[in-house]
Homo-oligomer: A and B are copies of this chain.
Amino acid sequence: MKKDLISNDIQLNASGKLVHLLGLEGLSKQHLTHILDVADDLLDAQGNLKKSKALDDMSVANLFFEPSTRTRNTFEIAGKRTSANIINVDLANSATKKNESLLDTMHTLKAMQIDMFVIRHKQSGLPHYVAENIGNVAILNAGDGINAHPTQALLDMLTIRQYKKNFESLSVAIVGDILHSRVAHSGIQALKTLGTKDIRLIAPEGLQYESKNCDTIKCFTDIETGLKDCDVIMVLRLQKERMMEADIPNEQEYFDNYGLTFERLALAKPGAIVMHPGPINRGVEIDSSVADGEQSVILQQVTNGIAVRMAVMEILAGKS
């Protein structure tokens, strides 16, 4: 992962209030905790999502330049559950093809009085560029290149907090292609901000984090060593197009070296939780029975994803 040259400064206004969600760098523990608290309040005692009327006078546009039905659906569902008007803008067929610049499209959508843009784009920093150039519209980053995926990290933190309470004392292992993963990038940042002292990055040579080991972060190529006595295991999805870079000849070899099996899970602490951002490649990065097993919280992550996105929308709209 390259050092982040993309600044999130613009996401806080002069009073330190969150007005965009571009990334987690620059947010305090208080900011993160507030988002998690609002999300928790959107879940009832049985863990079911409540419905909110908070955004019933607002319009939100889903601007997905990179196809992702799944993530788009989560924002659509979250938006509808806050009673917002949601517009899915099909950017494959949009005017941007007709030489209208991206910013013209954004200014036009703003002039249609869309209050919030949810943006996914393959270019790192694109949501920041839009936020800098378009005033008075809240920008919510739904994944930009290999830079950040802040709502994924927040839903992961909400899930960890539900099962493990205290971040400071946790050992958290992240397994997979750390280098190219915006999920890992945002997750590491969130864990650091929330005070986690023992973050372990387990990756093949070539897919490892660029920075050196530091006080809170340790890098491993051997999964068995990395998982030892940890409390939380975050498995990353294998991006198959990256296998070449890490000299991985095929999926079977990846599974042999890095797949999460029951044997490896047994090295972690009893009661350790298993997380995955989905969709799962069963038998590639995770054994099917581990994914469906007692320690898996993968489906709880999905529910929390709706709650966190609702919470962020309400906060950016100034309603929470």
Query: Which of B87, B93, B111, B303 is close to A111, meaning CB atoms less than 8 Å apart?
Result: B303
Residues of chain B with a CB closer than 8 A to A282's CB: 99, 101, 104
CB-CB under 8 A for A100 and B279, given A107-B299, A113-B48: yes
Give the 5 A-B residue pairs with the shortest CB-CB distance, closest first: A100-B279, A111-B302, A95-B279, A111-B299, A69-B94
Interchain nearest-CB distance for A159 vs B (Å): 12
A77 contacts partner chain B, Cβ-Cβ < 8 Å: yes
Q: Give the docked Cα–Cα distance between A73 and B113 (Å).
A: 12
Query: Which of B81, B94, B302 is close to A70, meaning CB atoms less than 8 Å apart?
Result: B94
Q: Which residues in chain A, 99-117, are within 8 Å of chain B measured between CB atoms?
A: 99-101, 104-105, 107-114
Q: Which residues in chain A, 47-91, are within 8 Å of chain B measured between CB atoms?
A: 48-49, 51, 57, 59, 67, 69-70, 73-74, 76-77, 80-81, 85, 87, 89-91
A318 contacts partner chain B, Cβ-Cβ < 8 Å: no
Residues of chain B with a CB closer than 8 A to A108's CB: 70, 278-279, 299, 302
Contact with B along A262-298 (1 / 0, CB 8 A): 0000000000000000111110100000000000000
Residues of chain B with a CB closer than 8 A to A87's CB: 73, 76-77, 80
Q: Give the docked Cα–Cα distance between A289 and B147 (Å).
A: 33
A98 contacts partner chain B, Cβ-Cβ < 8 Å: yes
Residues of chain B with a CB closer than 8 A to A51's CB: 57
The answer to whether B306 and A112 have CB atoms under 8 Å apart is yes
**30 A/B residue pairs, CB under 8 Å, sorted by A:** A48-B113, A51-B57, A59-B80, A69-B89, A69-B93, A70-B95, A70-B108, A73-B87, A73-B89, A77-B85, A77-B87, A77-B113, A80-B85, A80-B87, A95-B278, A95-B279, A98-B279, A99-B282, A100-B278, A100-B279, A100-B281, A104-B279, A104-B280, A104-B282, A105-B279, A108-B302, A111-B299, A112-B302, A112-B303, A113-B306
Instruction: Give residues in A with beta carbon < 8 Å to B.
Output: 48-49, 51, 57, 59, 67, 69-70, 73-74, 76-77, 80-81, 85, 87, 89-91, 93-95, 98-101, 104-105, 107-114, 278-282, 284, 299-300, 302-303, 305-306
